């Protein structure tokens, strides 16, 4: 009896599991092995080559760092960050305690809350860069997608602005930067600024350089909507907004996302360059400072930053890909 | 019965091309009664789609015009629903949502939410597609997608149903099946239908009238054949019915004797080979 009842449930749970595995698209272990093995071999060969070649390259700051030194510096940077954090925490608790005491004595007293004055660590710089790049990218998207839709819908408009796009698209961030800096410092005057000027400068430069792929792809995607679907929309007499929302936008989502991914990649590259040049806080500044520092560890620390920049760029692209898979209908 | 339901008078269609105006249609006149099933037949490129698109309002005739129930047609609208050759379903919407988009638009004000839901499902059942309501067009076969396209058109309660080679891309069995369901549905709803077809049997089996078009350019109505066969019609028994065979021959005679295409197959082939070459070149250039 018990075997009779248990066997169907077993089979359903097994099939349920299989369905789950299929849904998560976990391939069988052999293919996973193959898929992991080759990249792993590639990485190991690269590390080996790096390890052997690095000592041969001599610079004024000593030999080029190999993987081992870079790994050590990575740990070092992390440690600096943790100890800095501890000190900051202590500073904050002490400040709070002191304020509490003052308030106990005199409830109307004005207490000062000061942020921790220590220099930003490597990890802090990563955080700053990430926030800046995301802000710039979001702003670029907010500008580029609606504009792209307008250009894609209206051929005359497109013809009018196309030369401008073609001219501005290839402009390097380094050329924009001085202009943006001057304009920001001239126009963004406020006693209690919500944003740092350096943040705004970096962000706007990122926006200016990264909005083009999204703009172009959106307009191409919108202009390429299947004419049959446009006819359906006309037969149904969809209003302009319904037409855009229900037909044009969904149809061009795959193209828009291709553009967004390119834009985010550009945004990240541009940001590092802009931070280096403008000395605004972020990973770029970290690299520049280390370069100016010129200690024996500088090259290793810069190398850590290089790897971190690459890894973050890769992760950002992966995240966009995940979002694309969630949103786009053709994935 | 003094005025006809749908009337095309003196329709001329000129397309602007780089080589100057191309007169596709010249002086097309057509009167269609309510509930009539009319087929348009003619050689490829003669202008059948152009006629249909003018009735749909998707194209504007350069001379003459189209009047439906006393109103001139000059823009598309859901009372002239179109079934497109390649189903034209939104690939990002499910089968249900595709029909919903139409029903939402047409009956937003006149039906409650529940009524709309029932109406969508009713139309999907009419074409036997309710079971796939939650699938995307990419997950169903071409024949199924075409049926959804028909359901979407029927769901608009059109006074005229326009179909551009609705079964052109389907295999013979699916096609026969869909033809039978279309006949049933049309009997039941008594819609006016204009259908473009290349298939002589399809035209004779389904239609009350077959409009045969002359070859373009400047194509017009060549012959107008009334099919007096009792309904419901059965394809198997009709196959050797003398009247049916006669009608069939009339159409074949028109197409292959009176309006014989003089082009041989060779230039077409050469054209295709050229295109293929061009495509390959383009690919090579991209790579
Ligand atoms: N937008 C256009 N611009 C220029 N010429 C056109 C245009 N649309 C159609 N034509 C021409 O008008 C003629 C009729 O075209 P139409 O599409 O109506 O033919 P058809 O009878 O539907 O052909 P098929 O059976 O192959 O679908 C063709 O010669 C075609 O080249
Ligand atoms: Mg056609």
How do the domains of chain B map onto residue ranges? 4-79+158-249
DSSP single-letter state for residue A64: P
ipTM above 0.90, yes or no: no
* B88/A242 touch (CB, cutoff 8 Å), yes or no: no
Alpha-carbon span B264 to B247, nearest angstrom? 27
Fold of B4-79+158-249: Rossmann fold (3.40.50)
In this complex, the residue of B56, B84, B102 whose CB is nearest that of residue A228 is B84
Distance A132 CA to ligand 1 centre (A): 54
DSSP labels for chain B? --S-SEEEEEEEEEEEETTEEEEEEEEEEEEE-TT-EEEEE--TTSSHHHHHHHHHTSS--SEEEEEETTEE--S--TTEEEE-TT----TTS-HHHHHHHHHHHHHTTTS-HHHHHHHHHHHHHHTT-GGGTTS-GGGS-HHHHHHHHHHHHHHT--SEEEEESTTTTS-HHHHHHHHHHHHHHHHHH--EEEEEES-HHHHHHH-SEEEEEPPSSSB-EEEEEE----SS--HHHHTT-HHHHHHHHHHHHIIIIIT-----HHHHHHHHHHHHHHHHHHHHHH-
In this complex, the residue of B77, B81, B92 whose CB is nearest that of residue A250 is B92
Task: Specify the pTM.
Answer: 0.79
The response to whether residue B146 sits with its C-beta less than 6 Å from ligand 1 reads: no
Nearest-neighbour CA in chain B from A225: distance (Å): 11
* B105/A329 touch (CB, cutoff 8 Å), yes or no: no
The response to whether residue B212 sits with its C-beta less than 6 Å from ligand 1 reads: no
Nearest-neighbour CA in chain B from A270: distance (Å): 28
Q: Whose CA is nearest to atom 3 of ligand 1?
A: B15
Provide the 10 A C-beta neighbour count for residue A200: 23
| pLDDT tens per residue, range B58-68 | 999 999 999 99
A to B CB pairs, distance under 8 Å: 55
Fold of A122-327: MetI-like fold (1.10.3720)
Nearest-neighbour CA in chain B from A228: distance (Å): 6
In this complex, the residue of B57, B92, B102 whose CB is nearest that of residue A329 is B92
* pLDDT string in tens for chain A (331-residue length): 344 444 444 444 555 555 555 555 556 667 777 788 888 999 999 999 999 998 888 888 788 888 988 899 899 889 988 888 888 888 888 888 888 888 888 877 777 777 777 778 888 889 999 999 999 999 999 999 999 999 999 989 888 988 998 898 888 877 888 888 888 888 888 777 778 888 899 999 999 999 999 999 999 999 999 999 999 999 999 999 999 999 999 999 999 999 999 999 999 999 999 998 888 889 999 999 988 888 888 888 899 999 999 999 999 999 999 999 888 877 6
Closest atom of ligand 1 to CA, residue B42: 21
Q: Whose CA is nearest to atom 26 of ligand 1?
A: B44
H or E element, residue A1: none
């Amino acid at each position: 009896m018990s075997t009779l009842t248990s066997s169907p449930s077993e089979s359903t749970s097994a099939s349920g599991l299989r369905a789950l595995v299929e849904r998560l698209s976990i391939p069988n272990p052999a293919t996973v092995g193959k898929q992991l093995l080759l990249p792993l071999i590639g990485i190991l060969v690269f590390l080996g080559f790096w390890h052997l070649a690095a000592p041969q390259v001599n610079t004024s700051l000593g030999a080029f760092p190999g993987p081992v030194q870079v790994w050590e510096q990575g740990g070092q940077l992390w440690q600096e960050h943790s100890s800095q954090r501890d000190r900051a925490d202590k500073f904050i608790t002490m400040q709070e305690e002191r304020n509490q005491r003052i308030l106990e004595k005199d409830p109307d007293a004005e207490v000062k809350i000061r942020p921790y004055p220590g220099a930003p660590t490597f990890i802090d710089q990563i955080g700053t860069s990430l926030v800046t790049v995301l802000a710039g990218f979001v702003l670029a998207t907010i500008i580029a997608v609606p504009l792209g839709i307008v250009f894609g819908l209206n051929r005359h408009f497109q013809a009018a602005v196309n030369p401008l796009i073609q001219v501005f698209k290839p402009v390097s961030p380094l050329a924009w930067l001085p202009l943006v800096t001057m304009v920001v410092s001239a126009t963004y005057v406020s006693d209690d600024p919500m944003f740092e000027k350096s943040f705004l400068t970096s962000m706007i430069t990122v926006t200016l350089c990264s909005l083009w792929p999204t703009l172009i792809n959106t307009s191409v995607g919108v202009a390429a909507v299947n004419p049959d679907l446009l006819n359906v929309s006309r037969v149904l007499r969809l209003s302009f907004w319904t037409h855009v929302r229900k037909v044009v936008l969904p149809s061009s989502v795959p193209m828009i996302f291709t553009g967004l991914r390119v834009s985010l990649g550009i945004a990240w590259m541009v940001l590092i360059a802009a931070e280096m040049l403008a000395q605004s806080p972020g990973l770029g500044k970290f690299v520049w400072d280390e370069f100016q520092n010129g200690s024996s560890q500088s090259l290793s620390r810069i190398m850590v930053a290089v790897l971190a920049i690459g890894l973050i760029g890769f992760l950002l692209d992966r995240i966009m890909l995940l979002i694309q898979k969630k949103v786009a209908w053709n994935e | 019965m003094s005025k006809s339901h749908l009337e095309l008078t003196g329709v001329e269609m000129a397309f602007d091309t780089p080589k100057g105006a191309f007169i596709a249609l010249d002086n097309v006149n057509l009167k269609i009664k309510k509930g009539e099933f009319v087929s348009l037949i003619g050689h490829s490129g003669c202008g059948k789609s152009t006629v249909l698109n003018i009735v749909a309002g998707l194209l504007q005739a350069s001379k003459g015009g189209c009047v439906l129930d006393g109103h001139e047609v000059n823009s598309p609208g859901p009372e002239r629903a179109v079934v497109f050759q390649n189903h034209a379903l939104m690939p990002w919407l499910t089968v249900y949502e595709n029909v919903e988009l139409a029903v939402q638009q047409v009956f937003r004000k006149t039906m409650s939410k529940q009524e709309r839901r029932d109406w969508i499902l009713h139309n999907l059942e009419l074409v036997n597609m309710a079971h796939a309501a939650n699938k995307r067009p990419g997950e169903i076969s071409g024949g199924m997608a075409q049926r959804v396209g028909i359901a979407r058109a029927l769901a608009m309660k059109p006074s005229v149903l326009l179909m551009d080679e609705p079964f052109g891309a389907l295999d013979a069995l699916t096609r026969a099946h869909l033809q039978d369901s279309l006949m049933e549905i049309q009997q039941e709803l008594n819609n006016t239908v204009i259908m473009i077809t290349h298939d002589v049997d399809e035209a004779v089996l389904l239609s009350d009238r077959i409009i045969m078009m002359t070859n373009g350019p400047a194509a017009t109505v060549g012959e107008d054949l009334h099919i007096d066969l009792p309904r419901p019609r059965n394809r198997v028994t009709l196959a050797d019915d003398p009247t049916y065979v006669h009608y069939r021959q009339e159409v074949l005679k028109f197409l292959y004797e009176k309006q014989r295409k003089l082009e041989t197959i060779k230039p077409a082939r050469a054209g295709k080979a050229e295109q293929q070459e061009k495509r390959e070149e383009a690919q090579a250039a991209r790579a």
